[in-house]
Amino acid sequence: MLDAVLQRRLVFITGKGGVGRTAVATALALAAARAGKRTLVVEINPLGRLGEYLGDLTLGPDPTELTPELAAAAIAPAVIMEDFLTGMLRIRALARRLLESNTFRVVTAAAPGLEDFLTLVRVAEWEEERTGFKRKRRRFDLVIVDAPATGHSVPLLSTPGTFLKMLPFGPLTTRARELALLLGDPKRAAVAVVTRAEEMAVNETLELATALMRVGVTLLPVIVNAVDPFRFTRGEAHRLRAEPAEVPPAWQPYLGVARFSLARQRAAERQIRRLTRALPERPVSLPHAPAGRITLATLEPLADALARPRRRGSRRVS
């Protein structure tokens, strides 16, 4: 999975709420940084937990450097809008007064997607930013965006196309065209969807994948988070399902728990097979993160799993 990410410069991580999207985005950024890439992980969810996972940091629109290879930032729509108006009006006090006016709220409500557009502009600026002598060196090799949940991701990534239809000319049109070219370039940008091996989550993932492909962005392999480990071999599974179960007497008190665990394992495998059949690339499975408070240290196993080469085959319980 990491190899596919490192081939791009901008990767959005999205998925249904509650599937561990932020944890996966952080683990992916950690794996990329360990691979030697100068990586920026960006949160655009105002209620997100990226700062908490990174050590209770208060993140803002200016990247915070954690290591020489890893930095983090958070984009708040209100701050992005204020910066945009300040750039136009040149005076921040005037920009704030305009933001507080009812007339301006009505105008922005009539132009849906403006905050999303400005958010993408900021992300694209980081993807393009250069530094050093004569600005020949890119500041970041890779930008990973912890994008909003399913319902907001498609409108966010559709914003450049929407603005090109709404605005036939002007500076915003030029920027919208540049964003559309960026998001549509498979060598520069892509999207990875995070899900769980559960029926409702997989249903939503398949709908989201179809919508993203219609938008025209490159879809990376789906990441199935928090997959239970294989606890039983094929032979053990047959013995557990037999009536009566062909297990030693010492196992009898635990038979119900074992059968429940086996049923969960088989149900998860069915959902992963659905994803495999429906999508062009085989999904990537990640283990459970350790229970308790999530930190960079507890995300190390996920980063390790993302960095491992993908296996061609799969282990299946019949």
pLDDT of the residue at 81:
62
The rounded distance, in Å, linking the Cα atoms of 38 and 71 is 8
pLDDT of the residue at 127:
92
CA-to-CA separations, 116 to 5, 23, 129, 247, 287, in angstroms, rounded: 23, 23, 20, 58, 33
The rounded distance, in Å, linking the Cα atoms of 42 and 143 is 7
The rounded distance, in Å, linking the Cα atoms of 50 and 25 is 9
In the CATH hierarchy, which fold is given to the domain comprising 2-229+272-307? Rossmann fold (3.40.50)
Long-range contacts of 94-100 (CB under 8 A, 24+ apart): none
pLDDT of the residue at 98:
45
pLDDT of the residue at 315:
42
How far, rounded to the nearest angstrom, does the alpha carbon of residue 98 sit from its chain's CA centroid? 33
The rounded distance, in Å, linking the Cα atoms of 305 and 286 is 6
User: Please, which residues have CB within 8 angstroms of residue 135's CB and are 6 or more apart in sequence?
Assistant: none
Whether the link from the prior residue into 244 is cis, omega within 30° of 0, is yes
**pTM, entire model:** 0.84
Q: Is the dihedral of CA 259, 263, 268, 272 positive or negative?
A: positive
Walk along the chain (318 residues) in steps of 10 and give the mean pLDDT of each run. Answer: 91 92 94 95 86 90 93 81 54 50 50 77 90 78 91 88 78 85 94 94 94 92 88 79 79 81 87 93 87 83 87 47
Ordered alpha helix ranges (H), the chain: 2-6, 21-34, 50-53, 77-89, 92-100, 102-110, 114-128, 150-166, 171-183, 199-215, 234-241, 255-278, 300-307
Backbone dihedral angles phi then psi of residue 283, each to the nearest 5 degrees: -65, 160
Going from N- to C-terminal start, the domains of the chain cover 2-229+272-307
Q: 187: exposed, middle or buried (C-beta count within 10 Å: 0-12, 13-18, 19+)?
A: exposed
